[in-house]
Structure 1
């Protein structure tokens, strides 16, 4: 590549790194590589953008150990690009590899932001509505492709509200096998009925079969999940309307 093209890419990349770093509470390392040149910028084009980051603290309690994101060719705003701000003229498909540590996951789950996003949900159990209100959840990653969840909820049924705590060990869906629930134990409360367990499993099946998730202007789907001791690795396909100013959309 001619040196002048590389200088243009370097300028855009450094300015984009600066802008995103200023939006993060903390960052150990971030690298952005914009593949383009002046002619393509003038035409509103770029061959793609790659983002690599480590130790990104989006906001208090929300941390990503590592992220690698690669877009396809994109249509950009040429005026904004000259000032180091990459704005997409059209939605862009991207692939991201995200690593979350067990500590980071549990800090996020305990954060005010995530707790405010946790939905309550209702189940139809033999014609009667049972409501679940999450109070606490912790995730443990022992390795061997397993996830252990420990949680507390308020269970509302037949006009009564009671606390309920559980421990569940599961294997997420992979290319070669469906999701598997290895064990489920009640650790607090009087237990739950078989009918309620069946309704819970049906709800879990519905959630796992959702083709994609949407958060604000981003649609994404988890294509693969690897579980190692102490860390969770996600392969995510996403459609972006912009490179998120804080990268927070990429960690959820």
Structure 2
């Protein structure tokens, strides 16, 4: 398409980039391409929107090394679009590729924001409700498709609360294999019963095999996970209610 026929696309894309950049704490690079023209804008339509970013930081400590997202055709608010703001009239499907580094994942896990979101997990152990609250989590990506977790938690069982430290080695679910918990070891504390370990492993399996997850304006399904030394890549299918500005305001 000749450049003089892409003025509407360029205007909307530049305005969307400006709006996202203003909401991000930091961005090494952000590019947005709104695929449309003036006639489609007036009709409330766009062929799609693509987003590509590197080194995006939100909420001070939540960093994404790389993201590439492409939507299918969308229905937009034509009045807001004319002023450079994309507001969706209907939910839209998108596919995204997200790269996270080990350093950034641990930076996020150690942030005040994530700490404030930590909550108790309850599960049944032979008819008794046992709960634990994570206090500290570190993630290591040694390669070979493995994720190592080290952490501390408060474990409450039979009316008593005690601290516990652990290490766990797991393989996330991919297209070719189910999720697997290879090992779980207590490194501090009095240890745990076999029944508790069995119940915990079942809970971890359920979490790792969730069909979909939700943020405020997005529902997403992890299609594939690739774990390499030092980095983790997610291939995600999403249903987005609003883009792009709301992406920076989502709660984990």
TM-score, with normalisation over the residues of structure 2?
0.96
Write the distance in 2 (CA, Å) between the matches of 1:165 and 1:235.
32
Structure 1 counterpart of 2:136 = 136
Pairs within 5 Å for 1:76-91: 76-91=76-91
Gaps of 5+ in 1: none
Write the distance in 1 (CA, Å) between the matches of 2:109 and 2:32.
28
Conserved 8 A contact 2:217-2:250: no
TM-score, with normalisation over the residues of structure 1?
0.96
Write the distance in 2 (CA, Å) between the matches of 1:181 and 1:248.
32
Pairs within 5 Å for 1:27-176: 27-176=27-176
- Residues 169 and 180 of structure 1: CA distance in aligned 2, closer, same or farther (over 3 Å): same
Aligned residues: 252
Displacement after TM superposition at 1:130 (Å): 1.1
Write the distance in 2 (CA, Å) between the matches of 1:24 and 1:137.
25
Displacement after TM superposition at 1:115 (Å): 1.8
State the Cα deviation string for residues 26-55 of structure 1 (Å, max 9, x = none): 111000001000010111000000000001
The CA RMSD measured in Å over matched residues stands at 1.5
Write the distance in 1 (CA, Å) between the matches of 2:20 and 2:235.
22
State the Cα deviation string for residues 192-223 of structure 1 (Å, max 9, x = none): 00000111111122222322112212111111
State the Cα deviation string for residues 57-101 of structure 1 (Å, max 9, x = none): 112111111000000000011111111101111001111111111
Pairs within 5 Å for 1:177-196: 177-196=177-196
